[in-house]
Structure 1
Amino acid sequence: MKHNIILTKTGRSANGTIQLTGSKSECNRALIIEALSDGKVKVKNVSDAADAVLLAGILRKSKVESQKSKVESPEVVVGTDEVHEVEVIDENLSSSGYEPSTINHEPKTVNIGPAGTAMRFLTAYYGIGNEEVILTGSERMKQRPIGVLVDALRTLGAQIDYEEQEGYPPIKLKGSFEQQTRKISIKGNISSQYITALLLIAVKLPFGLELHIEGELTSRPYVEMTLAMLKEANILHTWEGNVISIPNQEFATTSLHIEPDWSAASYWYAIAALSDESELFLPGLTSYSLQGDSVITEIMANFGITSQFKDGGVHLTKEVKAIFRKIFDMKECPDLAQTVIVVCAALGHEATFTGLETLKIKETDRILALQIELAKIGVKLIEKGQVYKLDCSEKQLPQRMFVSTYHDHRMAMAFAPLAILIPELEIEDADVVEKSYPAFWTDLAKVGFNASPPTP
């Protein structure tokens, strides 16, 4: 049952300290690295985002089941006292006549709900494994394409079938991987999560991976984040031109510490931008973050937000200034798009946006969702090819507004700051924020927002 809230705000200032959860993007990558490392890598400051909690639980259960299978099948020689997660069968096991089908007779079903990152990462993880798995999700997940990644994994040697619609989940991963090649190509203008999924498993491939990226790379910072985290675990790579190579190699015994989430921080930048005055402190964030969304500091400088890195975090200060920047390229930070577009619309700033190509295949069609919701304040988001322009000529902030969230956590959080300007803001399905930022409404209360149930 959907849980709506009425969001109000006393005054137009926002001051306080907000401790953000760990980065969902970093955490999901780290959890896969931990699972592939045979226990050598440990994750610290695990995010409490629902997606990360779900992925951690699935991987933990796979580890337990893998251990149980080995106990029940003593004829299978693993060659180490460590418990191996689901991973590529190494050459020793293959040459000894080891057959995965002797362990698992029935495929298990893994339901990842609406967690897109988990779907992509687990497709690769189970794709090179020795378990037969059916990977499925929510109805929206069944509408989100997975074909590009499946094709790449099939080229590598994975046995994957579609259970319903060609190119979309659910999929069956047959658990009989045998590497056919180390060279594969993938388009650069699709979701970076496909690329990351392949890079994460590369180290477990007997012959390694040589990944050729075709055309311009979208969301490059996310790929750089993946490679940097692998490097922290002693996994080396080369990146020359459009080719990323990762040989088969061993993980180091280490810990990966998850930084607070810059995507979550973006909503506080939006709050500061819409406030008359604001002084906020976000502990744990650094100026040398692996997260591409840390570019929010540069974007929001256009709206008078100064970011000072000191005292072990970032201080946000609002200064009134004219806004001059007209074009925002969101290609490398698409998760910030809703936040920045809503801020521009609320301030009547008729900006132009590029790099929004991936927004239509997210939790919802975010372009359409933005167009519908912004129309409620008289603002149009006009699409011309791959360029989007705000028309604020008829902007009018109502006394009361209902915000539909479309099962999308970022729609709820991007529009929430409007409560600074709109006396009564009803947010549909408020619990949707649990996907990435469960404490969002609680944190808002710390700076003067009030979230209450609608009056019957």
Structure 2
Amino acid sequence: MNIQIQKSEIHDLQSSISITGSKSESNRLLLLQALFPNIEIDNLSNSDDSKVMTEALLTSSNVIDVHHAGTAMRFLTAYFATQDGREVVLTGSDRMKQRPIKILVDALKSLGAEISYLESDGLPPLKITGKKLTKNKVTLQANVSSQYISALLLIAPKLENGLELTLEGKITSVPYINMTLNLLNQIGVKTDFQNNVVEVNQQSTTSPYRKGTFGRVNNQKSLIESDWSSASYFYSIVALSAVGTEISLSSYKQNSLQGDSVLSEIYKDFGVETTFENNSILLQKSTIVNQKPARTEKVGSGGSLISLDLSNAPDIAQTIAVTCFGLGISCVLTGLHTLKIKETDRLFALKTEIEKLGGQVAITEDSLTLDSSNNIKSNIAIDTYNDHRMALAFAPLALKTSIKINNAEVVSKSYPSFWEDLKSIGFQIKTD
């Protein structure tokens, strides 16, 4: 499905959008629920990735296809390695078969797991023969994808001797590691994270808490927080809109576990203020962005060149790059080494599509530099590369120019109702 979005004139918009639970939290809790069946989950993500995760954990089939779901591939590799007597083949899309998993497989093997490659060394598909894992110490490079680390931490309570994980070097994506540990703590598992060493205690009981106690405050269930990555596209919309535009999003927490919650600080540089109220966030376009030549090395200094280290929140890099392009602001985004092994090489994809629109982009292995431009070409067709975030990130540019999005259905991977939500706030969308 290809769509066309006509250039929109949205002024003084006041709208409210409900976004489903965080995909990151949902997939972690789904794995924990498989290990501890008494866990109850509310506001589960309706994303394709979470649906794939749910189906894989429930199926009795010995062949499991996760399609494009990278989180599911990593988490399920660790999960099935611990399922004594269960043999599965874990496979995915053609792109998934190009995404490396050797680091996680080697770590699991060092704990005693039985895993083999069926096609290419270091890549899916995998043959996994589940068994009891008795070893409890493993070492990883600290700058690897946090999903490798979280996969190991999530299965740790069911390892016979728990887990001691040593991370060598500078740790990236710390918020995602802390999210995993916090969720473990919420279900009663003891953890410790000091000096690059993470320890997770073994939990021998069927469930470490009474049924129904997960997520309760004063005996009331709390929802999984909504997805901050999904919120980023509305931050971009407000940033590209006129002063006075307001959008309310639910359900969000000021003390979020999600690394992408840094949006509330980053987008101050784009004239967007965030107010937390009653489990919602109100986004308000408060000021016109300063476009005078200047250089800034930190958020909030008001220059026209934005410099950000996104090593703790790489999933919002595409949104920020497109926002900067739409506002005519230069940016230097660093800490992006993990983007090359996502659904596509996101750095290459960003460069290609922004340059089609008239921008100038330079990329390295872990950075992107965008030169400011006030000329945005119209009716350009954006290729999405089977990557949901390409479609989601570029859509807000319709506030500046008419734009086409190819294979727009790819948004279902993380945000199935995105196009309907855009229509509800005034975007003019037609299907080709």
Same-fold call, TM cutoff 0.5: yes
- Pair 1:387–1:116, CA change in 2 (3 A): closer
Further displaced range: 155-164 or 270-279: 270-279
Q: What's the CA shift for 1:255?
A: 2.6
Are the aligned partners of 1:304 and 1:318 in contact in 2 as well (CA < 8 Å)?
A: yes
| Residues 28-79 of structure 1: per-residue CA shift (max 9 Å, x gap) | 0010011101x22111111111110111122122xxx4xxxxxxxxxxxxxx
Distance in 2, matches of 1:259 and 1:363, equals: 24
What amino acid maps onto 2:431 in structure 1? Answer: P
What amino acid maps onto 1:127 in structure 2? Answer: A
Are the aligned partners of 1:378 and 1:392 in contact in 2 as well (CA < 8 Å)?
A: no
Matching residue of 2:4: 6
Matching residue of 1:144: 99
Q: What's the CA shift for 1:167?
A: 0.2
Matching residue of 1:25: 24
Are the aligned partners of 1:9 and 1:448 in contact in 2 as well (CA < 8 Å)?
A: no
Matches for 1:31-430 after TM superposition, within 5 Å = 31-37=30-36, 39-61=37-59, 65=60, 108-130=62-84, 131-179=86-134, 181-249=135-203, 250=205, 251-253=208-210, 254-256=213-215, 257-277=223-243, 278-319=245-286, 320-322=288-290, 323-324=302-303, 326-384=306-364, 386-393=366-373, 396-422=375-401, 424-430=402-408
Q: What's the CA shift for 1:178?
A: 3.8
- Pair 1:373–1:435, CA change in 2 (3 A): same
Distance in 2, matches of 1:307 and 1:437, equals: 22
Distance in 1, matches of 2:10 and 2:247, equals: 14
Matching residue of 1:440: 418
Distance in 1, matches of 2:137 and 2:56, equals: 30
| Residues 139-178 of structure 1: per-residue CA shift (max 9 Å, x gap) | 0000000000000000000000000000000000012344
Alignment length, in residue pairs? 404
SS in 2 for 1:281: strand
* Superposition CA RMSD, Å: 1.4
Greater gyration radius:
1
What amino acid maps onto 2:329 in structure 1? Answer: H
What amino acid maps onto 1:410 in structure 2? Answer: R
Distance in 2, matches of 1:282 and 1:361, equals: 30
Question: Unmatched 5+ residue regions in structure 2?
Answer: 216-222, 291-301
Q: What's the CA shift for 1:134?
A: 0.4
What amino acid maps onto 1:255 in structure 2? Answer: F
| Residues 361-401 of structure 1: per-residue CA shift (max 9 Å, x gap) | 000000000010000122122125644311235x5212311
Are the aligned partners of 1:34 and 1:41 in contact in 2 as well (CA < 8 Å)?
A: yes
SS in 2 for 1:332: coil
Are the aligned partners of 1:338 and 1:370 in contact in 2 as well (CA < 8 Å)?
A: yes
Q: What's the CA shift for 1:12?
A: 3.3
Q: Percent identity?
A: 44
SS in 2 for 1:437: coil
Further displaced range: 314-323 or 288-297: 314-323
Distance in 1, matches of 2:278 and 2:83, equals: 45
Distance in 2, matches of 1:346 and 1:178, equals: 51
Are the aligned partners of 1:182 and 1:210 in contact in 2 as well (CA < 8 Å)?
A: yes
SS in 2 for 1:260: coil
Distance in 1, matches of 2:430 and 2:106, equals: 47
SS in 2 for 1:302: helix
What amino acid maps onto 1:30 in structure 2? Answer: L
Q: TM-score with structure 2 length normalisation?
A: 0.91
Further displaced range: 304-313 or 3-12: 3-12
| Residues 64-121 of structure 1: per-residue CA shift (max 9 Å, x gap) | x4xxxxxxxxxxxxxxxxxxxxxxxxxxxxxxxxxxxxxxxxx811000000000000
